Amino acid sequence: MHSSVIFDSALLQKYPARGPRYTSYPTALNFTPKFGKPDLLKAIEQSNNKTLSLYVHIPFCHKLCYYCGCTKVVTRLQSKADVYLDYLIKEIEIQAQYMGHKPVTRVHLGGGTPNFLNDIQLKRLMNGLKKHFNFTTDAELAIEVDPRDMTCERIDTMADMGFNRLSIGLQDIDPKVQEAINRVQSTELIEALVTRAKARNFRSVNLDLIYGLPFQTPESFANTLEAVHKMQVERVSLFSYAHLPERFAAQRKLPADALPNAEQKLVLMRLAIETLCSYGYQFIGIDHFALPTDELAKAQHNKTLTRNFQGYTTEADSDLLGLGVSAISAIGDSYSQNHKDLNGYYYSIEHDKAAPEKGLVLSKDDHIRQQVISDIMCNLTVDKAAISLKFGIDFDKYFADELGKLRPFIEDQMVVNLSHAICIAYKAQLLLRHVCMVFDVYLGLATRQKFSATI
Ligand code: SF4
């Protein structure tokens, strides 16, 4: 499939609304404080999933990037991480009592900046996890890193600890853009990190890119894409910068008048998609690219791709336990989220034995819609017959209203509604979130405004 099939500027301008990224359904905005520890324990007990994935959130960063919308604490004080680890290890011990028997097939350290932890702190964390959980021998151990806190020797240390997947925030290599976003970093160092990770047999390296940043031009961004090409990484993630200064104070520091407008952003996005596809990457879902030899590309081909809070993944039918401040879990029939501020998180570990701040138990309707939305986001096809059979419904009757709302998409030849399936055309690939929104029963106007722009 050629990348130009995906990019239809008339359609992209016609459907400019904001929308969820559907890393879960229902989305985190629908979690409620009514969900408590007893609900979590019940979900753990009732879960049929045989394996476990762990997500560990490290919230600290040494320096503030002005575009950032993540949950993080900016500090130079390394000792804050020691205190955090005290609580994190306690949480690991508590949760392992309930889930420690399941084989752990994946661990993902995200942030914040996981490599804010120095080698001793990182070792302490990994030893704590390995002591209390049962890692499989081929478990995937992934870590996100900020290159400004990295050296090639740290790659060696991470490899020795068992890490085999690496994700680096490249964003943009242009000095003017880096200055404006307060993230000045060396491309040569990033190249050296990638080379070292390959030499140490990391299974894959991912680079994150962002388009829509101040001072970005097609010419400057082409240089960033060229740098990606040179590094020959297995995966690339391409994110649209969402300017929401009313929600994220850091973004007020960006020179707003230097931000590309909507039209310029489309040009940057098109450039990135076409260039990456011309380099041989397969476009995955809405924002990922993978070389055809990579597991993500294979999963897309085999229609086994799935989606969780870290984006696209190949791991289905696994419980996800989130550890650390703000971390989200997806266990059995439930979603739950830890406290989002450090003090609340510490209090919950100390007094409530790691009670989540909020969450929800999925109803049957949630499960049905979750399946539809996952099929759209991952496979571009909704198998009506399979869903009817799985959930004991008549798909066309159950979704009579929603199928009516698909009419504009059908008229724009983005969607075909067949008797046995809904098929999404490649030209709608950048607008998958819009198609999903038709099936999202929680999506009112009030919540819609909280989401980032889909492009
Ligand atoms: S973008 Fe990443 S490194 Fe920068 S402040 Fe946000 S979480 Fe920290």
pLDDT, mean of each 10-residue run, the chain (455 residues)? 68 78 93 96 96 97 94 94 98 97 97 97 98 97 97 98 98 98 98 98 97 97 98 96 93 96 92 96 93 92 86 85 97 96 96 92 97 94 96 98 96 96 92 94 65 58
91 assigned to some structural domain: yes
Which ligand 1 atom sits closest to the C-alpha of 63?
Answer: 5
CB-based contact 133:98 (threshold 8 Å): no
Q: State which of 57, 58, 61, 115 you would mutate to test the pocket of ligand 1, scoring each by most atoms of that ligand within 8 A of its C-beta.
A: 61
pLDDT the model gives residue 311: 82
111 lines ligand 1 (CB under 6 A): yes
170 CA distance to ligand 1 middle (Å): 12
4 assigned to some structural domain: yes
DSSP state of 281: P
| Final residue in a domain of this structure, among 294, 319, 344 | 319
Prediction pTM value = 0.93
Residue 313 and residue 196 in one domain: yes
224 assigned to some structural domain: yes
DSSP state of 453: B
Q: Label residue 280 left, alpha or beta by phi (over 0 means left) and psi (-120 to 50 means alpha).
A: left
416 assigned to some structural domain: yes
Between CA 138 and CA 136 the distance in angstroms is 6
pLDDT the model gives residue 451: 58
Between CA 449 and CA 308 the distance in angstroms is 22
DSSP three-state, residue 187:
helix
- Count of residues making up the chain: 455
- What's the chain's Rg over C-alpha atoms? 21
Residue 234 and residue 287 in one domain: yes
CB-based contact 261:230 (threshold 8 Å): no
340 assigned to some structural domain: no
DSSP three-state, residue 320:
strand
Q: State which of 70, 208, 254 you would mutate to test the pocket of ligand 1, scoring each by most atoms of that ligand within 8 A of its C-beta.
A: 70
Residues 6+ apart with CB under 8 A from 213: 67, 171, 172, 177, 180, 181, 241, 259, 260
347 assigned to some structural domain: no
Its sign, for the CA torsion 277, 279, 285, 287, is negative
pLDDT the model gives residue 446: 47
Residue 305 and residue 369 in one domain: no
Between CA 335 and CA 352 the distance in angstroms is 18
313 assigned to some structural domain: yes
pLDDT the model gives residue 453: 59
Residues 6+ apart with CB under 8 A from 89: 124, 125, 128
Residue 97 and residue 243 in one domain: yes
Domain that holds residue 421: 1-26+364-455
DSSP state of 452: P
Residue 104 and residue 192 in one domain: yes
Question: How far does CA 105 lie from the centroid of its chain?
Answer: 18
Residue 13 and residue 55 in one domain: no
DSSP state of 212: S
| Final residue in a domain of this structure, among 288, 303, 319 | 319
Number of domain units in the chain: 2
User: Closest Cα to atom 6, ligand 1: which residue?
Assistant: 68
pLDDT the model gives residue 94: 97
151 assigned to some structural domain: yes
Its sign, for the CA torsion 247, 250, 252, 256, is negative
Residue 304 and residue 434 in one domain: no
DSSP state of 23: S
Residue 22 and residue 41 in one domain: no
64 lines ligand 1 (CB under 6 A): yes
Provide the CB-side half-sphere exposure for 320 (13 A, CA). Answer: 25
CB-based contact 206:312 (threshold 8 Å): no
DSSP state of 326: T
Strands (E), 16-59: 51-58
Residue 210 and residue 256 in one domain: yes
